[in-house]
Amino acid sequence: MAKFGPEIAAQIVAQATASLAEIASALTRTFDRPIEVAVGTPAPLPPGTSPTDPLLASAQGPGFAIVFKVQSSAGLLLIAESSGLLPAWYANPDPTGASKLATLAQELGMQLLPDEFMPDDSPAARVDDLSAALLRGEPAADAMLLPLALTSGELRGTALLVWPLAKAEAILVQPQAIETPAIETSAIEAPAIEVRPPAEIEPAADSKPGVEQNAAAESQPKPQPAAAPSTPTKKLQPVAPKTHTFRQLPNYTRSLLKIRVPLSVTLATKKQPVGQILELGPGSIIQFEKSCEEMLDLNVGNLAIARGEAVKVGEKFGLRVMSLTLPGERFKAVRAG
């Protein structure tokens, strides 16, 4: 397998050029505005590039970053907020918005990179400083930069694709100062209590031995146990969930995931006598019981896996998935003894 490096620049340009319509369609659906895309000319990223480098002029300030994890390195796509192309919700998306951004990252990874460099994972997020995020990824000494011109009406912007980078995990990490408060502990001093044993208690001159002395002894204050010094509690740090990438799967599992299967959407179904079917001809209208507002079924082969609603994607038909169909559960009674 070829190396994910500057030598594949021509392949990336060819792949992006062939996928311009799909790239523009993916950006249009996600950013809720019509966007046109044009592929620029790749150029080397000089070693020791600083955030003020002219090559990074369109990657200043906050913006949207997509990391394409490929082999042991990564590619990075940057879109600045200053372009005005990003939707307002992208900085703090709800579950639906987060799903749209994740889908966009996966689509762009397949449309910008050749098939043999399909990303293992494509995390995406807003970062406070695009150029700083790029430098955190440690671009290789021979890294390349490909500009993509984005246009939406009077808005103009440039998305930058940079590859390869050494530290994919560090790109989306927002730097922040974490202060650990000092915990002061002090021993709690128990009050001194003088306790005299009953033998040292002298009875009064007019008191009688016996019951009176026992009552006097019981009336004396009993010693109190000293309070234990407080022990500072240690705050448990949350354990980050483990992430599994495509390359960590066994070889046979990865090969299964690349199998192409038929994907279809069922508008409606009905049964008719063979005689009525033979009478069908051009101009015939078949009426179904299903309402136009009902959900459509998404099938893989003959198996329904999801339901969704019809949407228009440019001049084409699409399906927005609204719910997934869980596989059926089977229960078997367990008998005692």
Residues 69/122, Cβ–Cβ less than 8 Å: yes
What tokens were used for 169?
């995990």
* Residue 337 pLDDT: 56
Phi, psi of 121 (to 5 degrees): -160, 150
CA dihedral 48, 54, 59, 60 (to 10 degrees): 100
SS3 54: helix
For residues 105 and 94, give the distance between their C-alpha atoms in angstroms, rounded to a whole number: 17
Nearest to 156 by CA among 240, 247, 82: 82
Q: Which residue type sits at 227?
A: A
Report cis status (omega within 30 of 0) of the bond before 164: yes
Residues 114/15, Cβ–Cβ less than 8 Å: yes
CATH superfamily of 261-273+290-328: SpoA-like (2.30.330.10)
For residues 163 and 45, give the distance between their C-alpha atoms in angstroms, rounded to a whole number: 9
For residues 281 and 191, give the distance between their C-alpha atoms in angstroms, rounded to a whole number: 103
Q: Would you list the domain boundaries of the chain? A: 6-48+56-170, 261-273+290-328
For residues 213 and 200, give the distance between their C-alpha atoms in angstroms, rounded to a whole number: 11
Residues 270/284, Cβ–Cβ less than 8 Å: no
For residues 329 and 177, give the distance between their C-alpha atoms in angstroms, rounded to a whole number: 49
* Residue 186 pLDDT: 46
What tokens were used for 328?
């059926």
* Residue 46 pLDDT: 76
Nearest to 193 by CA among 220, 230, 215, 217: 220
Q: Does domain 6-48+56-170 sit in CATH 3.40.1550.10?
A: yes
* Residue 207 pLDDT: 46
Kind of pairing between the strands at 63-70 and 263-266: unpaired
Q: Full-prediction pTM beyond 0.85?
A: no
Helices assigned H by DSSP within the chain = 9-18, 20-31, 95-112, 130-136, 211-219, 251-257, 274-278
For residues 23 and 333, give the distance between their C-alpha atoms in angstroms, rounded to a whole number: 52
- Residue found under tokens 């997509």: 66
* Residue 314 pLDDT: 74
Kind of pairing between the strands at 155-165 and 139-152: antiparallel
What tokens were used for 150?
């984005």
Region of residue 131 (left: phi > 0; alpha: psi -120 to 50; beta: else)? alpha
What tokens were used for 215?
């009552």
Per-residue pLDDT of the chain (337 residues; tens, 9 = 90+): 578 889 999 999 999 999 999 999 999 999 999 999 999 999 998 776 666 666 677 788 899 999 999 888 999 999 999 999 999 999 999 988 888 898 899 889 989 998 888 888 899 999 999 988 998 999 998 899 999 999 999 999 999 999 999 998 999 987 654 344 444 444 444 455 554 555 444 554 444 455 455 545 555 555 555 555 555 555 555 555 555 565 666 766 766 777 788 889 988 888 889 988 898 889 888 888 888 888 999 998 888 889 998 888 777 888 888 888 877 666 666 766 5
What tokens were used for 269?
């179904």
* Residue 284 pLDDT: 87
* Residue 177 pLDDT: 41
